[in-house]
Amino acid sequence: MTLLMVCLMVLGGRLLFIQGIDAEDQAQKAMDRRTRPVTLAPERGAILDRDEDVLAESVQRYDLVVDQRLVQDSRVWDPETSGYVELDIDEQLAELSELLEINLPELRELMVGDRPYRIVSRRVTPEVKEAALDINIPGLLSEPVADRVYPNGAVAGSVLGFTGQDGQGLEGIERAQNERLNGQTGERIFEISADGVRIPNASFSETPAINGNDIRLTIDQDVSWFAQEAIADKVDEYNAEWGNIVVMDAKTGELLALADSETVDPADPTETDPLFWRPTALTQAYEPGSTGKAVTFASAFDAGVVTPEEEWTVPSTQTFNNEEIHDSLPHDTYDMRTAGIFARSYNTGTVQVAQQLSSEERWQYMTDFGIGQPIDIGLNAVNQGLFASWEDWDRRQHFTTTFGQAYSLTALHTTQIFQALANEGQMMPPRIIDSYIDEEGIETEWEAPTEPKQVVSAEASEEMLKLLEGVVEEGSAQAAQVDGYRVGGKTGTGQAAGEGGYDGYTTSFTGVVPLDDPQFIVSVAVHRPQGDWETWQVTDTSADVMEYLLSKYSVPPSETGPQHYDVFTEDPQERPW
């Protein structure tokens, strides 16, 4: 009896504690047991070109899933006959096999078994989902998922990149701007009954998801397509390893195209060599060759140590500090102007011009032009190249660096150098992202990590444009001419380094158009072309792209004729070519 009284007192005390002293805590625990949180996924932002044409977007798709334990013969109510209809599972599986285009044995393996959850088909359209569920197979369900689609296929594919099965970016803008595109998840909390079913009309709380930003690029999808086709044809012509074209706005640094000879389709990246998953204009560094002479001559003009019409004696081979420098082909000794050395791209003359500056001064100019420096365009893929300090140059490198050897850079580096020369000496930070657009339509401009920089004077830039025009009018790039427009540029052939040393070449041309009011920079590079190097030519490809740009953007023809300098000093001039 005493024991019974003790037990009753303990139970009573416990009940008093629960109902009184600890009532609030117990109520909270009860609420926790009958509430369930559900994550609300945000919509991934779209990627747009400069005209807001969609390059990448998320669309509603469905995964078809099955509880294999429920797959069996069944019957369903037919309201038309007011009776049950018997369904044969074998016939249903055959119908589903045809709909999903999965062979029947494979589908049966997916559908039949004892697993409570298995994915049958991923990312089907709403129409296919409805048709599949209308077959009325027990245990077959659909789960909504977002699928990433790329309406233009491989156009600008290496810029856009792609996402994984989880919807997260793996390459390109999709990866580099993943956080911006993703947005923020939300949460809904609701009450459920003891059997796990949501209680109708019960209260719930919700924190809405914040959708990801749309990203507008500076890329022009039409220009990208044209440039991709053009460089693919040129690489095929020379059986080269790869090629690329960069198109940049000469005044703003905005990139209109980063085109590759082979381009990844973001919807099916495994079909493409991983080399082309990222723009080669950003990832592949090479010795520029004679395009590097533009920096040498611009530096000399800016420093005031030479003039465009200064006279020089230019032999085919010349020795400097016990280092023999020779031109690509033997030639007579000429009396030439500074502009003529540049137009005919003579190494011996270039070294003579460069020696008017110290190695340290030249190195500083080269660094200011971005050689050896990282470039951040919000894509996380730019190779900064190799460029040693002048103090670490060997005896020969003091000369070879004047004409584009003994250092490496990317096509983007070269393009930004010419952008500065075309823009009164001011280098604009290259940019491929224009702005972010939130779900309310509010735009936030992308902020470049660096400021515009005056690399050389406007006067030096003006002289360089005349020298670049001389290359196209009198020099090695006459195929770059465009009817009605003044064009300038520089060719380059640099040695390509392999595992055992130099084993090929990279041939290139970077041009400016129109020279009287520069609008575009077009850089074309082809890596390891086959055949005789004297026959390699990418200037015609540049001309094709320039013509397309000038037409698309309705750029008026040049109002002035060529203003380049003469090549030789004597008059009349003897022209050996």
Which residues belong to CATH 3.40.710.10 in the chain? 221-552
CATH architecture of 39-68+97-217: Alpha-Beta Complex (3.90)
pLDDT of residue 209: 85
Amino acid letter, 318? Q
pLDDT band, residue 69 (cuts 50/70/90) = confident
Residues 297/467, Cβ–Cβ less than 8 Å: yes
Residues 47/55, Cβ–Cβ less than 8 Å: yes
Across the range 462-484, mean pLDDT stands at 96
pLDDT band, residue 319 (cuts 50/70/90) = very high
pLDDT of residue 577: 47
> What residues have CB less than 8 Å from 195, skipping those under 6 apart?
none
pLDDT of residue 22: 57
Which residues belong to CATH 3.90.1310.10 in the chain? 39-68+97-217
Residues 249/519, Cβ–Cβ less than 8 Å: yes
Question: If you compute the radius of gyration of the chain from its CA atoms, what whole number of angstroms results?
Answer: 34
Mean pLDDT across the chain, nearest whole number?
90
pLDDT of residue 16: 53
Nearest to 300 by CA among 349, 267, 262: 349
Give backbone dihedrals phi and psi of 449, rounded to 5 degrees, phi first. -75, -10
> What residues have CB less than 8 Å from 390, skipping those under 6 apart?
359, 360, 362, 363, 398
Question: Helices 126-133 and 89-100: crossing angle, nearest 10°?
Answer: 170
Q: Of 112-126, 239-253, 499-513, where does the model show the most confidence?
A: 239-253
pLDDT of residue 3: 59
Q: What is the pLDDT of residues 345-357, one digit of tens each?
A: 999 999 999 999 9
Q: Of 112-121, 387-396, 489-498, where does the model show the most confidence?
A: 387-396
Q: State what percent of residues in the chain have pLDDT above 90.
A: 74
pLDDT of residue 576: 52
pLDDT of residue 195: 43
Backbone dihedral region for residue 44 (phi beyond 0: left; psi -120 to 50: alpha; all else: beta) = beta
pLDDT at residue 33 is higher than 60: no
Residue with tokens 């890329």: 219
Backbone dihedral region for residue 241 (phi beyond 0: left; psi -120 to 50: alpha; all else: beta) = alpha
pLDDT at residue 548 is higher than 50: yes
pLDDT of residue 179: 96
Residues 123/63, Cβ–Cβ less than 8 Å: yes
The CB-side HSE value for 537 (13 A sphere, CA atoms) comes to: 13
Alpha carbon distance 348, 319 (integer Å): 9
Alpha carbon distance 56, 77 (integer Å): 44
pLDDT of residue 10: 53
The enclosing H or E element of 496 equals strand 488-498
Residues 530/523, Cβ–Cβ less than 8 Å: no
Alpha carbon distance 483, 467 (integer Å): 19
Q: What is the pLDDT of residues 79-105, one digit of tens each?
A: 777 777 778 898 999 999 999 999 999
Where does 221-552 sit in CATH, by number? 3.40.710.10
The enclosing H or E element of 320 equals strand 317-320
pLDDT of residue 28: 58
Nearest to 431 by CA among 218, 155, 176: 218
pLDDT at residue 15 is higher than 80: no
Q: State what percent of residues in the chain have pLDDT above 70.
A: 89
Residues 61/125, Cβ–Cβ less than 8 Å: yes
Collapsing DSSP to helix, strand or coil, 250 comes out as coil
Across the range 210-231, mean pLDDT stands at 98
Across the range 498-525, mean pLDDT stands at 95
pLDDT of residue 427: 99
Alpha carbon distance 194, 172 (integer Å): 48
For the chain, the 3-state helix, strand and coil shares in percent, each to the nearest 5, are: 35, 25, 40
Longest dimension (CA), the chain: 136
pLDDT of residue 197: 45
Alpha carbon distance 491, 403 (integer Å): 12
Q: What is the pLDDT of residues 388-433, one digit of tens each?
A: 999 999 999 999 999 999 999 999 999 999 999 999 999 999 999 9
Nearest to 507 by CA among 483, 541, 473: 541
Across the range 353-377, mean pLDDT stands at 98
Residues 492/289, Cβ–Cβ less than 8 Å: yes
Q: What is the pLDDT of residues 257-309, one digit of tens each?
A: 999 999 999 999 999 999 999 999 999 999 999 999 999 999 999 999 999 99
